[in-house]
């Protein structure tokens, strides 16, 4: 029944009109993804009124196309210029930009596209076959389970700490502290606002990200009088694609990233920005080439990009089968469904099976469109690394400043971006890790909400975290991972210390 539904849906999705809707959605999504400051949710919200004039399937196909088009294209600027077009591309920028500096921009862009495509196709199959069953499992997650999961996710701070564990943890806590500024998520109490109206909304992730990464990077390169991002000669476009061992490494990392992103994407609040961190952390732990991560490893691009797209895709499972949106962008898709008189939930697959499977099949089509649109353009995009930095720098700064202003139309955010630009420049100069700060900031609200809600349920007793299997397992895993990683770090430091000592003796 299910197989027939998907094939039937594929035939519907391949009609001229639906292909057109998918193409429009992908193009709009790519534009949104490249521009920092404009997230898929805002773009979809802007287009929501037009959804009423389209057939239900067309409206949802366009919205879904924007969503994963943006998810894919956010990596382009992250790889080429170290400006994450979407917050989900922050992690991609770490290795992606290093690859660009080594003249491997084409390889990075290609594996990002291929990884996204793999995640998209596998994610679609998961939606079609496992959707309702997986969604019911995710429903068992309450605040204590979330707290356990967030706590476990925070162990990634150790991986992202770089040379100094203390510095990494400090940056993570600074991120959590920054997330406390503004209205408290549960009671609305103002914290650290000092009566300032702009501060009440808190610090937005976009100015924080474009400041730390974009403005900080340009200031750093201006100081070192960088001539171009890549000084050598680029290969021809067809030679830019990963081959041989690099391709195998990229594909296996894509599969791991897909698994991480798909499972985590089922949970509300686990937005792509968070699952990309987890996917990168998995690479740090299991990849054979973990030593190359952070220096331009193909796994550092493939895994987060696949996780990013897999999360975006698997978010459709609870949405379509239970009517639960797991991210703001999916809430807009839910609105589109409701506007068209459709009620998401188990009945969607029985009463409107044609529509449900047409939309699901169109996801494969859209991912194919994104791949076809991206690969031929890789040669063009990669040439950005050859533009003189005296021209590229001001272009990047302009995008960063207007991009910081865009989400909330306030110059306060421009000020925040400049402030964090200076912070990013200092951190870049001192080689301090930026990723833990962003991770702490992203996790901060979820950490506070889940902790306080759990303690409210248990009247303040922390026993709630140990009496339920999922949080107890997560906490045990967090402790185990922390102990093992600290031991590994300590041993590697001891070994490197001994090597340095013996070198001095020679």
Question: What is the total count of residues that contact another protein (CB under 8 A)?
Answer: 62
Phi and psi dihedrals of 182, rounded to 5? 105, -160
Which residue, 350, 258, 352, 374, is CA-closest to 60? 352
Which residue, 147, 177, 176, 173, is CA-closest to 161? 173
With binding defined as CB under 8 A, does residue 200 bind another protein? no
Among 35, 259, 332, 363, binds another protein (CB under 8 A): 35
Instruction: Report how many helices (DSSP H) and strands (DSSP E) the chain contains, helices first.
Output: 25, 2
User: Measured from the CB atom, is 220 or 466 closer to another protein?
Assistant: 220
Where does this chain touch another protein (CB under 8 A) — which range of 104-112, 171-179, 275-283, 367-375?
171-179
Look up residue 317 and give its two tokens. 């499972």
CB 473, CB 148: distance < 8 Å: yes
| 113 three-state secondary structure | helix
* Complete DSSP assignment for 296-342: S-THHHHHHHHHHHHHHHHTHHHHHHH---SSHHHHHHHHHHHHTT-
In the complex, the smallest distance separating the C-beta of residue 404 from another protein, rounded to whole angstroms, is 10
User: Measured from the CB atom, is 1 or 166 closer to another protein?
Assistant: 166
With binding defined as CB under 8 A, does residue 32 bind another protein? yes
With binding defined as CB under 8 A, does residue 157 bind another protein? no
In the complex, the smallest distance separating the C-beta of residue 255 from another protein, rounded to whole angstroms, is 34
In the complex, the smallest distance separating the C-beta of residue 455 from another protein, rounded to whole angstroms, is 5
With binding defined as CB under 8 A, does residue 177 bind another protein? yes
In the complex, the smallest distance separating the C-beta of residue 88 from another protein, rounded to whole angstroms, is 18
Q: CA-to-CA distance for 324 and 236, rounded, in angstroms?
A: 46
In the complex, the smallest distance separating the C-beta of residue 282 from another protein, rounded to whole angstroms, is 27
Cβ atoms within 10 Å, residue 392: 20
User: Measured from the CB atom, is 398 or 497 closer to another protein?
Assistant: 398
In the complex, the smallest distance separating the C-beta of residue 381 from another protein, rounded to whole angstroms, is 17
Where does this chain touch another protein (CB under 8 A) — which range of 3-11, 220-228, 280-288, 291-299?
220-228
Among 460, 463, 502, 505, binds another protein (CB under 8 A): 460
In the complex, the smallest distance separating the C-beta of residue 228 from another protein, rounded to whole angstroms, is 12
User: Measured from the CB atom, is 147 or 237 closer to another protein?
Assistant: 147
In the complex, the smallest distance separating the C-beta of residue 218 from another protein, rounded to whole angstroms, is 7
Where does this chain touch another protein (CB under 8 A) — which range of 65-73, 133-141, 162-170, 356-364?
162-170
With binding defined as CB under 8 A, does residue 395 bind another protein? yes
Q: CA-to-CA distance for 12 and 22, rounded, in angstroms?
A: 12
Quote the crossing angle between the two packed helices 90-101 and 299-314, to the nearest 10°. Answer: 150
Angle at 135 (CA atoms; ends 132, 139), nearest 5 degrees: 135
| Integer angstrom CA distances of residue 53 from 58, 60, 104, 334 | 10, 12, 44, 16
Among 224, 350, 502, 504, binds another protein (CB under 8 A): 224
CB 65, CB 29: distance < 8 Å: yes
Where does this chain touch another protein (CB under 8 A) — which range of 69-77, 132-140, 290-298, 412-420?
412-420
Q: CA-to-CA distance for 41 and 24, rounded, in angstroms?
A: 16
339 contacts: CB under 8 Å, gap ≥ 6: 48, 51, 52, 59
User: Measured from the CB atom, is 255 or 455 closer to another protein?
Assistant: 455
**226 CA to centre of own chain:** 29
Q: CA-to-CA distance for 420 and 154, rounded, in angstroms?
A: 22
In the complex, the smallest distance separating the C-beta of residue 188 from another protein, rounded to whole angstroms, is 9
Among 341, 459, 501, 503, binds another protein (CB under 8 A): 459
Where does this chain touch another protein (CB under 8 A) — which range of 1-9, 16-24, 90-98, 176-184?
176-184
With binding defined as CB under 8 A, does residue 232 bind another protein? no
CB 250, CB 111: distance < 8 Å: yes
Among 112, 154, 218, 438, binds another protein (CB under 8 A): 218
With binding defined as CB under 8 A, does residue 271 bind another protein? no
In the complex, the smallest distance separating the C-beta of residue 189 from another protein, rounded to whole angstroms, is 4
Phi and psi dihedrals of 247, rounded to 5? -65, -45
Where does this chain touch another protein (CB under 8 A) — which range of 59-67, 262-270, 362-370, 416-424?
416-424
With binding defined as CB under 8 A, does residue 176 bind another protein? yes
Among 97, 152, 349, 389, binds another protein (CB under 8 A): 389
With binding defined as CB under 8 A, does residue 426 bind another protein? yes
With binding defined as CB under 8 A, does residue 390 bind another protein? yes
With binding defined as CB under 8 A, does residue 504 bind another protein? no
SS (H, E, C) 274-309: HHHHHHHHHHHHHCCCHHHCCCCCCHHHHHHHHHHH
HSE-up (13 A, CA, CB side) for residue 44: 30
CB 276, CB 90: distance < 8 Å: yes
Which residue, 169, 164, 199, 167, is CA-closest to 184? 199
Cβ atoms within 10 Å, residue 492: 10
With binding defined as CB under 8 A, does residue 451 bind another protein? yes
Which residue, 433, 378, 333, is CA-closest to 48? 333
Q: CA-to-CA distance for 219 and 428, rounded, in angstroms?
A: 10
- Which residues form the interface with another protein (CB under 8 A)? 31-32, 35, 37-38, 43, 46, 164, 166-167, 169-170, 173-174, 176-177, 180, 184, 186-187, 189, 191-192, 215, 218-220, 222-225, 389-391, 393-395, 397-399, 401-402, 405-406, 409, 411, 414-415, 418, 421-422, 425-426, 430, 448, 451-453, 455-456, 459-460
């Amino acid at each position: 029944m299910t197989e027939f539904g998907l094939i039937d849906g594929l035939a519907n999705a391949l009609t001229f009109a639906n292909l057109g809707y998918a193409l429009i959605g992908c193009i709009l999504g790519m534009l949104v993804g490249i521009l920092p400051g404009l997230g898929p949710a805002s773009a979809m919200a802007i287009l929501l009124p037009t959804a009423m004039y389209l057939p239900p399937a067309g409206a949802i196909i366009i919205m879904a196309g924007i969503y994963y088009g943006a998810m894919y294209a956010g990596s382009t600027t992250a790889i080429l210029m170290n400006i994450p077009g979407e917050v989900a591309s922050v992690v991609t920028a770490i290795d992606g930009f290093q690859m660009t500096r080594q003249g491997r921009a084409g390889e990075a862009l290609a594996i990002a596209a291929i990884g996204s495509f793999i995640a998209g196709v596998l994610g679609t199959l998961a939606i079609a076959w496992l959707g309702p069953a997986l969604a019911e499992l995710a429903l068992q997650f309450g605040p204590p389970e979330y707290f356990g999961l967030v706590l476990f996710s925070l162990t990634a701070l150790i991986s992202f700490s770089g040379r100094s564990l203390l510095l990494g943890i400090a940056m993570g806590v600074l991120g959590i502290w920054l997330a406390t500024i503004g209205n408290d998520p549960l009671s609305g109490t103002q914290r650290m606002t000092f009566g300032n109206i702009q501060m009440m909304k808190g610090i937005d992730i976009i100015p924080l990200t474009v400041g730390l990464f974009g403005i900080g990077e340009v200031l750093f390169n201006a100081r070192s009088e960088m001539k171009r991002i890549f000084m050598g000669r680029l290969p021809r476009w067809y030679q830019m694609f990963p081959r041989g061992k690099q391709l195998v490494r990229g594909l296996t990392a894509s599969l791991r990233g897909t698994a991480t992103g798909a499972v985590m994407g089922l949970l509300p609040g686990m937005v792509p920005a968070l699952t990309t961190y987890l996917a990168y952390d998995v690479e740090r732990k299991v990849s054979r080439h973990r030593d190359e991560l952070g220096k331009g490893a193909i796994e550092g691009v493939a895994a987060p990009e696949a996780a990013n797209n897999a999360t975006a895709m698997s978010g459709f499972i609870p949405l379509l089968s239970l009517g639960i949106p797991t991210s703001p962008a999916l809430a807009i898709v839910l609105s589109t469904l409701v506007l068209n008189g459709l009620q998401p939930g188990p009945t969607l697959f029985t009463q409107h099976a044609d529509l449900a499977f047409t939309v699901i099949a169109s996801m494969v089509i859209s991912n194919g469109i994104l791949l076809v649109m991206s690969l031929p353009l890789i040669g063009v995009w990669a040439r950005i690394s050859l533009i003189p930095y005296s021209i590229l720098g001001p272009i990047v700064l302009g995008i960063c400043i207007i991009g910081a202003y865009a989400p909330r139309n306030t110059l306060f955010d421009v000020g925040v971006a400049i402030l964090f630009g200076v912070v990013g420049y200092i951190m870049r100069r001192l080689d301090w890790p930026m990723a833990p700060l962003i991770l702490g900031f992203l996790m901060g609200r979820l950490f506070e909400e889940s902790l306080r809600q759990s303690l409210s349920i248990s009247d303040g007793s922390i026993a709630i975290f140990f009496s339920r299997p999922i949080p107890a397992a997560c906490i045990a895993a967090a402790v185990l991972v922390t102990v093992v990683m600290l031991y590994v770090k300590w041993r590697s430091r001891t070994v490197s210390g001994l090597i340095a000592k013996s070198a001095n003796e020679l």
